[in-house]
Structure 1
Amino acid sequence: MITRKVRKDVEKALDRQPAVAIIGTRQVGKTTLALDIVEGRASVYLDLESYEDRDRLQDPILFFSQYEDSLIVLDEIHRMPEIFQTLRGVIDKGRRKGKRTGRFLILGSASLDLLKQSGESLAGRIGYIDMHPLNVLEVGVDNQVSLWVRGGFPDSFLSASEQDSFLTRKDFIRTYLERDIPQFAPRHPAEMLERLWMMLAHSQGGLLNASKLATNLSIGTKTVNFYIDLLVDLLLFRRLQPYHANIGKRLVKTPKIYIRDSGLLHALLGIRDYKALSGHPVLGGSWEGFVIENIFSILPQGTKPYFYRTSAGAEIDLVLEMPNSEIWAIEIKSGLTAKPSKGYYIAIEDVKATHSYVVYAGAEQYPIAEGIDAISLAGLMLLLEEP
């Protein structure tokens, strides 16, 4: 089993809060992690996609009262969002009995739905942990290319062959289109959603143009934005917002778009292996999205990520506004050459960057210019992980 770095965060949260929610995409490994955490503890596991387990909660107060000394795992909580109202009373009653921490471990695959429900009723009683797909530090630098091609979902990454991995991801996409998305957007055809997903894949790392997408799909811009919002809330898609600074320059104000998992991106585009990826037009956008998602998986809490671009061509692929007010300016290059563009030098002056790095496909760290270093993805992640 690959050791997940997020495990320590979950265990610490359970030691300070009565409820902890692990939020992550389907098949990212939430259930495996939860079952690993509860091993050796008194615990109860309920899969709320199972009719049998949902029936056990017909009288949830009575059920929970029978397991006051156990850690109760509630998987796929979005299937029973009404349970949050009950959890509030159960937690408060337990607190009066001295049972203040480690009561519930909640697993959810839809961020907006989960946060809305828990935010309304469990304020001050729940901690949130974001669980990302596997990252480079977890699988090892030697497996970086395989992780990039296959993506970070464990079943895909650990498949016996490239073909098995590709088919696993195709099945994942079909499941979302035919079963999961209709739960949140009923009466919307899977075929049209698949076409939108394909268009977004071809636009990886580009600026979002909802009007163009709407025209190509023969639907309204409002409908396109609704679908994109849904994909964001299901943790499948990312909108990276532009960095705004009062510098007297015309700034790009449209978000950039990414399919979050590189393996899903490649499956949508029919890319089965590195040979096919290396000659595909999406290569640069794929690497950029892969680097960004790996970085996001280890960012300190409170970090604000952006990109920076002016109409004159000054650009930074990723700007990190750190909790200590440092500004990290990160340029991303898919090859073994780590030479930034002239626009990058202008941009780091604009944003007053305190740290400037060019992430490239090589392994060495070396200076490019004063205050700017070339660095590997794993090297940058290790720097960002430092306290």
Structure 2
Amino acid sequence: MIERSHRKSVEDALENQAGVVLLGPRQVGKTTLAQDIAESRDAVYLDMERTADRQVLEEPDLYLDEQMGRLVVIDEVQLLPDLFGALRGQIDRRRRQGHRTGQFLLLGSASNTLLHQSAESLAGRVSYHELTPFMLPEVGSDAMSSLWLRGGFPDSFLAKSDRASLTWREDFIRTYLERDIPSFGLRIPAETLRRFWTMLAHEQGGLLNAAKLAGNLGVSGQSIARYLDLLVDLMLLRRLPPWHSNAGKRLVKSPKVYIRDSGLTHALLGIEAQEDLLGHPVVGGSWEGFCIENLIAAAPRGTEASFYRSSAGAEIDLVLKLPQGQVWGIEIKRTTSPKVTRGFHVAAEELEISERILVYADEKDAPGQGGVRAMPLRGALERLASA
């Protein structure tokens, strides 16, 4: 059993809020984490994919009034959108009776859908948290190669072999395309969406070129935008925005697009083993995406992530604006040479970067030129976690 780093933040939130909304893609471990938390409390668990549990909440106030003072865990809550109004009333009523914290733990698999449903009803009453696939600090640096190859979905990472892991991810993708996405009422041909997802895997970390994607798929630009929004909403895709604060500079305006889990990238491309990955053209983009997901997860809550690229060639792979206002610039390279390009230094000066880091493939920290510190991914994660 791998201890999830998110557990403490969720439990702390339950000590201070009436409810917590825990978001994350399917099969990422939300239910396991919620049940672990529930075991240490007086709690009841309901799954909205089970007909019997949905029927229990057909008259929500009747049932929830009986659970006053208990933690109520509701899984796949986005499947019952009418419930949010009742939850607001329940939270307010419980507050008046002295039950102010730790009342509801709501689990959901679609971020924007769920946030829109709950934003008005539960504003100021719940805390939002995202559960990611396993990240490097959770599994340890010795397992980094396996985590990068297989990705962080628990059943994929913990599989008995690379072949079993790949089979699990292929089944996961098929299930999402054929069952889960249609369950949201979205009529998108599974084969079209698979081709789109695979195209993004080939271009991992590239600038979004919607016109090119539309032409290759034979669909409209509006359809491409809809497909992107869907995969972002399902927390399977990251749309990394460009830095936009330098009004006087000619900056790239298109976002960069990453499949968030490296294992899914590799499954879409048919990459089974480490040797296959290291010899594949996507290796650089895959490594960059893997590092970016880990770095964003390690950053303090409220950190804003972007990238920087100007028409003059100044570029930083990842710009993190921390809640206190500091701006970190991080370059990511699969190299053992602790050097960054001149474009990185130019960009760092333009943005007044306070912390300049090169994440590279060696195992030791090394001073770089122009105040850059070169370090392995593990070291960068530790610095961010203590920021």
Q: TM-score, normalised by structure 1?
A: 0.98
CA shift, 1:14, in A, is 0.3
Query: Is the 8 Å Cα contact of residues 345 and 370 (structure 2) preserved in structure 1?
Result: no
2:130 maps to 1:130: yes
Distance across 1 between alignment mates of 2:174 and 2:337: 38
Aligned twin of 2:167: 167
Query: Is the 8 Å Cα contact of residues 23 and 129 (structure 2) preserved in structure 1?
Result: yes
Distance across 2 between alignment mates of 1:25 and 1:186: 17
SS in 1 for 2:177: helix
Structure 1 residues 340 and 247: alpha-carbon distance in aligned structure 2, compared to 1, 3 A threshold: farther
Q: Which amino acid aligns with 1:293?
A: E
Give CA-to-partner distance per residue, 1:334-375, whole Å, 9 cap, x none: 132232112112111111111101001222111012411101
Distance across 1 between alignment mates of 2:14 and 2:246: 42
2:129 maps to 1:121: no
Structure-to-structure mapping, 1:57-72, within 5 angstroms? 57-72=57-72
CA shift, 1:247, in A, is 6.4
CA shift, 1:84, in A, is 0.5
Query: Is the 8 Å Cα contact of residues 110 and 235 (structure 2) preserved in structure 1?
Result: yes
Aligned twin of 1:385: 385
Q: Which amino acid aligns with 1:56?
A: V
Distance across 2 between alignment mates of 1:65 and 1:355: 52
2:91 maps to 1:86: no
2:11 maps to 1:8: no
Aligned twin of 1:265: 265
Query: Is the 8 Å Cα contact of residues 247 and 350 (structure 1) preserved in structure 2?
Result: no
SS in 1 for 2:300: coil
SS in 1 for 2:329: strand
Query: Is the 8 Å Cα contact of residues 338 and 366 (structure 2) preserved in structure 1?
Result: no
Q: TM-score, normalised by structure 2?
A: 0.98
CA shift, 1:258, in A, is 0.3
Query: Is the 8 Å Cα contact of residues 166 and 272 (structure 1) preserved in structure 2?
Result: yes
Structure-to-structure mapping, 1:229-240, within 5 angstroms? 229-240=229-240
Structure 1 residues 9 and 321: alpha-carbon distance in aligned structure 2, compared to 1, 3 A threshold: same
SS in 2 for 1:149: helix
Structure 1 residues 247 and 127: alpha-carbon distance in aligned structure 2, compared to 1, 3 A threshold: closer
Once superposed, which parts of structure 1, at least 4 consecutive aligned residues long, lie more than 3 Å away?
none
Aligned twin of 2:295: 295
SS in 2 for 1:146: helix
SS in 1 for 2:206: coil
CA shift, 1:248, in A, is 3.5
Give CA-to-partner distance per residue, 1:136-158, whole Å, 9 cap, x none: 11100000010000001111000
RMSD: 1.1
Structure 1 residues 185 and 52: alpha-carbon distance in aligned structure 2, compared to 1, 3 A threshold: closer
Q: Which amino acid aligns with 2:19?
A: A
Distance across 2 between alignment mates of 1:61 and 1:236: 34
Aligned twin of 1:184: 184
Distance across 2 between alignment mates of 1:296 and 1:246: 22
Structure-to-structure mapping, 1:201-212, within 5 angstroms? 201-212=201-212
CA shift, 1:65, in A, is 1.2
Aligned twin of 1:29: 29
Query: Is the 8 Å Cα contact of residues 17 and 100 (structure 2) preserved in structure 1?
Result: yes
SS in 1 for 2:330: strand
Query: Is the 8 Å Cα contact of residues 149 and 266 (structure 1) preserved in structure 2?
Result: yes
Give CA-to-partner distance per residue, 1:33-84, whole Å, 9 cap, x none: 1011111321111111111111111211111111112111000111111111
Query: Is the 8 Å Cα contact of residues 334 and 360 (structure 2) preserved in structure 1?
Result: yes
Q: Percent identity?
A: 55
Aligned twin of 2:308: 308
CA shift, 1:187, in A, is 2.5
Distance across 2 between alignment mates of 1:372 and 1:336: 15
CA shift, 1:186, in A, is 2.8
Query: Is the 8 Å Cα contact of residues 328 and 353 (structure 1) preserved in structure 2?
Result: yes
CA shift, 1:313, in A, is 1.5
Query: Is the 8 Å Cα contact of residues 141 and 378 (structure 1) preserved in structure 2?
Result: yes
Query: Is the 8 Å Cα contact of residues 318 and 330 (structure 2) preserved in structure 1?
Result: yes
SS in 1 for 2:374: strand
Aligned twin of 1:74: 74
Distance across 2 between alignment mates of 1:117 and 1:36: 26
Structure-to-structure mapping, 1:139-178, within 5 angstroms? 139-178=139-178
Give CA-to-partner distance per residue, 1:292-313, whole Å, 9 cap, x none: 0001112112211110111122
Query: Is the 8 Å Cα contact of residues 24 and 108 (structure 2) preserved in structure 1?
Result: yes
More off after superposition, 299-308 vs 150-159? 299-308
SS in 1 for 2:293: helix
More off after superposition, 274-283 vs 36-45? 36-45
Structure 1 residues 92 and 245: alpha-carbon distance in aligned structure 2, compared to 1, 3 A threshold: closer
Distance across 2 between alignment mates of 1:351 and 1:197: 33
Distance across 2 between alignment mates of 1:250 and 1:108: 39
Unaligned residue ranges in structure 1 (runs of 5+): none
Unaligned residue ranges in structure 2 (runs of 5+): none
Structure-to-structure mapping, 1:88-107, within 5 angstroms? 88-107=88-107
Q: Which amino acid aligns with 2:7?
A: R
Give CA-to-partner distance per residue, 1:104-131, whole Å, 9 cap, x none: 1000110001111110201111111111
2:330 maps to 1:330: yes
Query: Is the 8 Å Cα contact of residues 157 and 165 (structure 1) preserved in structure 2?
Result: yes
Distance across 2 between alignment mates of 1:301 and 1:40: 26
CA shift, 1:246, in A, is 2.6
Q: Which amino acid aligns with 1:86?
A: A
